[in-house]
């Protein structure tokens, strides 16, 4: 069976992409070990790629650098309320923070924390960990409705030697705690919180 492409479609292909036109002509004019239906799907695939890679598709996207000039490294871990939750390193300690497209930076670490990281952000909620008295504490930050103030909640358990929160959603925070040697990954225990240290479920 021979597949016949309408002349109009072939002409449109030429204008969409020279590469697409070349592939279509190759598929139609030569036997490239394809069945008729496979040829049709190959042509549909080429048209789809050409459309997605066209200038109109590219124009819908733009990149915004949130990296502060003073920072050496930054890691983004989610977005919400007009911010990107990020871990920010200025050459010294890594700190948890919020980065805005306007260029503003909000450091989330409480005064008694020596370092910390943002590990996830969703909506107005940010989770991660902060180091207090040389111990990693699971942390929750909640932005107010206007996004101009942040409330900090320490989720760490009294007898734990390590804790961190890695996910947030539906009013809950998921993470891990360790008891005993804080550097022994075999001590990891999955943890769930519901907005406070007292809501901890292991």
More confident residue, 19 or 77: 77
pLDDT band of 18, cuts 50, 70, 90? low
pLDDT at 56 (0 to 100): 57
With contact defined as beta carbons under 8 Å apart, do 68 and 87 qualify?
Answer: no
What are the tens digits of pLDDT across the range 127-136? 999 999 999 9
Q: Average pLDDT in the 9-38 region?
A: 48
pLDDT at 8 (0 to 100): 34
What are the tens digits of pLDDT across the range 182-191? 889 898 999 9
Look at the pTM and tell me if it is higher than 0.95.
no
96 pLDDT above the threshold of 90: yes
Indicate the average pLDDT of the chain: 80
pLDDT at 4 (0 to 100): 38
pLDDT at 6 (0 to 100): 38
Q: Average pLDDT in the 14-34 region?
A: 49
pLDDT at 150 (0 to 100): 93
23 pLDDT above the threshold of 80: no
End-to-end CA distance of the chain: 65
173 pLDDT above the threshold of 60: yes
199 pLDDT above the threshold of 90: yes
- Phi, psi dihedrals of residue 16, rounded to the nearest 5°: -70, -45
In sequence order, the β-bridge partners of residue 105 are 99
Measured in whole angstroms, how far is the alpha carbon of residue 94 from the centre of its chain? 19
Q: Which CATH architecture has domain 73-199?
A: Beta Barrel (2.40)
Give the Cα separation of 126 and 131 in Å (integer): 16
Give the Cα separation of 107 and 116 in Å (integer): 10
Nearest to 157 by CA among 128, 173, 142, 136: 136
197 vs 3, 151, 155, 156, 167, CA distance in Å? Answer: 67, 14, 4, 6, 15
pLDDT band of 104, cuts 50, 70, 90? confident
What are the tens digits of pLDDT across the range 39-67? 566 556 655 655 555 555 545 667 778 88
With contact defined as beta carbons under 8 Å apart, do 105 and 150 qualify?
Answer: no
pLDDT at 51 (0 to 100): 58
Give the Cα separation of 77 and 89 in Å (integer): 14
- Phi, psi dihedrals of residue 13, rounded to the nearest 5°: -60, -40
More confident residue, 126 or 58: 126
Report the chain's C-alpha Rg in angstroms: 26
Give the Cα separation of 126 and 166 in Å (integer): 9
**Sequence ranges of the domains in the chain:** 7-58, 73-199
């Amino acid at each position: 069976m021979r597949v016949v492409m309408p002349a109009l479609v072939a002409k449109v292909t030429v204008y969409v992409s020279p590469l697409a036109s070349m592939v279509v002509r190759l598929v139609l004019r030569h036997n490239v070990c394809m069945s008729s239906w496979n040829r049709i799907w190959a042509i549909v695939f080429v048209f789809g790629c050409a459309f997605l890679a066209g200038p109109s598709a590219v124009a819908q996207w733009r990149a915004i650098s949130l990296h502060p000039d003073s920072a050496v490294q930054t890691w983004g871990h989610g977005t919400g309320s007009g911010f990107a939750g990020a871990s920010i390193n200025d050459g010294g300690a890594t700190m948890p923070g919020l980065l805005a497209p306007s260029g503003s930076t909000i450091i989330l670490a409480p005064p008694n924390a020596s370092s910390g990281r943002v590990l996830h952000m969703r909506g107005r909620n940010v989770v991660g960990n902060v180091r207090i008295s040389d111990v990693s504490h699971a942390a929750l930050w909640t932005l107010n409705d206007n996004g101009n103030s942040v409330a900090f909640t320490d989720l760490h358990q009294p007898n734990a030697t390590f804790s961190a929160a890695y996910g947030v959603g539906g009013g809950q925070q998921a993470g891990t705690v360790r008891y005993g040697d804080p550097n022994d990954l075999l001590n990891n225990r999955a943890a769930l919180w519901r907005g406070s240290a007292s809501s901890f479920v292991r």
